[in-house]
Amino acid sequence: MSLLEISNLSKRFGGVVAVDSCSLSVADRSITGLIGPNGSGKTTVFNLVTGFIPRDAGEVRFKSRSIGGLGPDRIYGLGIGRTFQLARIFPRLTALENMLVPVRRAGFRAMLSHGQWRHERDRAMEMLDFVEIAHVAGTVGGALSYGQRKLLELAAVMMAAPELVLLDEPAGGVNPALLEKIADHIRKLNQQGVTFLLVEHNMSFVMNLCHEVVVLHQGKAIASGKPKAVRENPAVLDAYLGA
Amino acid sequence: MAALLELRGVTAGYGGGDILHELDLTVEDGAITCIVGPNGAGKSTVLRVVSGLLRPRLGTIQFRDASIAGLSPRAILQRGIVQVPQERSLFPTMTVWENVRMGAYTVRDGGLIERRLQQVCETFPIVRDRRFEPAASLSGGQQKIVEFARALMLDPALVILDEPSMGLDPKTRTTVFDTIRAMNQAGRTILLVEQNARSGLGLASHGVVMESGRIRLEGPGPAVLNNPEIGRLYLGATA
């Protein structure tokens, strides 16, 4: 069963067709990779699914419900979280405060209960510890390094307990050893029922982690399937991977 | 080879404590020096103290035997050090050509600017092919190449690159690394930070591993890449 279903989705910016009647689906409880050359429309698909930009045509369904015309806050509330290619965090809040923003979004009632709040705080510290930035929990976001911001954003999106998480280049700017741990953590969250759709150029990361891979080229899905089959597909080799 | 750039005992931070602790680093003239290390190790901070975006609290920085520590970024640019930042830095609504010309902002000689523009167009044909298009219409990899072109407008002796491969697809990444090698062969000294350690150290004549604001290990790029301890700690098994 697919959790997310995109059909004939299109988006044009001036004369550029960024997403061209694109159709793809993300199976429930899968880790699906979205790969393709720079400029093939991957981030635009993310922006359309999460309501950051309006579509020109086509349909997006989440749990069989149409979410095509909804705004980003509504879509977030329905259980779709995302990260950005260039991490977006609150620069004047500390790392720990950044972690607690999604919790506030999850409900004021939770905040009012002191025990619950402490629980969320502990959970936030655990997540920070996991991505190896617990030592900067009290540092404001603006003073973190680029890689640390990416890790903070990844940790923070999980605080809202989304059902579907869209990750835009989780490996970009993250050191390789930590990347393996992040892959393990994504696997663990996936086993707990979280579905992932991720854009990534690090092929070993994608091939080791993803159950399914979809390849975008010039705004269209040109191939999809198991990582191994996609990697050997001549059209993919030509458009994306190179010789 | 002689040292083009020498950092001695450099200590620097952003107000919330020091990030770099008495760091010593030598960049040889004509070399490709690549710094790798965990997130938050201080790699980008090293680049910032060299390009003048951050003033070191202690220590000396020598470039061609003159001290540059504490100089403004503009003065450092004029001495021949240019940095290409980590995040996308082109002016999105300006054309490719306008962006590249901005690289020569400190140059007064119009004829010189035109000659250099012709040179970078030869090196990077995309600059000529897409010259009238707004930078935002280029893909991520194309934008990175235009950033390189802009950096070369000052005819720098030292080019600093902060994670040049970030966000680039595999084919484009190969092109970008080939471009870095070509810039080096054309006589530029390169200092880069790269998380894609295998590509970065594979390219580098000198590899540097940083941890917690200090240099943990350094040596020829391939030797650092093949150091088993470093492999286990920083590179991961599948990177």
Residue B224's domain is classified under what CATH number? Answer: 3.40.50.300
**SS3 of residue A38 by DSSP:** coil
Q: How many domains does chain B have?
A: 1
Structural domain spans, chain A: 1-79+162-172+194-243, 87-161
Residue A215 has pLDDT above 90, yes or no: yes
Rounded to two decimals, the pTM is: 0.81
Is B87 inside a domain boundary? no
Ranges A57-61, A207-211, A236-240, B30-34: which has the least confidence: A236-240
H-helix or E-strand containing A97?
helix A95-106
Q: Is B107 on the interface with A (CB under 8 A)?
A: no
From chain A, the residues in CB contact with B234 under 8 A are 175-177
Token code pair at residue A208: 């080791």
- A177 with B234: Cβ contact below 8 A: yes
Query: Does B44 fall in a domain?
Result: yes
B99, B90 Cβ separation under 8 angstroms: yes
Host H or E run for residue B140: helix B140-152
Q: Identify the domain containing residue B30 by its residue range.
A: 1-13+21-80+189-239
Predicted pLDDT of residue B137? 83
Percent of chain B surpassing pLDDT 70: 96
From chain A, which residues contact B within 8 Å (Cβ)?
Answer: 16, 35-39, 85-86, 132-133, 136, 139, 143-148, 150-151, 169, 172-180, 201-205, 208, 240-242
Q: Which helix (H) or strand (E) holds A84?
A: none
Burial letters B199-221, b for 16+ CB under 10 A, else e: bbbebbbbbbbbeebebbbbbeb
| pLDDT, tens digit (0-9, with 9 covering 90-100), for B124-168 | 888 999 999 999 888 777 888 899 999 999 999 999 999 998 888
Nearest chain B alpha carbon to A35? B169
At A113 the pLDDT is 64
pLDDT tens sequence across A80-127 = 999 988 788 999 999 999 999 887 655 556 556 667 778 889 999 999
**Residue B171 is assigned to a structural domain of this protein:** no
In this predicted structure, what is the pLDDT of residue B176? 87
* pLDDT level of residue B239 (50, 70, 90 thresholds): very low
In chain B, residues with a C-beta closer than 8 Å to the C-beta of A85 are 167
| B16/A139 Cβ within 8 A | yes
* CATH number of the A1-79+162-172+194-243 domain: 3.40.50.300
Does a structural domain hold residue B194? Answer: yes
The reply to whether residue B171 touches residue A242, judged by beta carbons under 8 angstroms, is yes
Considering CB atoms only, which of B86, B140, B195 is closest to A176?
Answer: B195
B172 contacts in chain A (CB < 8 Å): 37-38
Q: Which of B40, B163, B169 sits opposite A240 (nearest CB)?
A: B169
Assess whether pLDDT exceeds 90 at residue A178.
Answer: no
In a domain, B140, yes or no: no
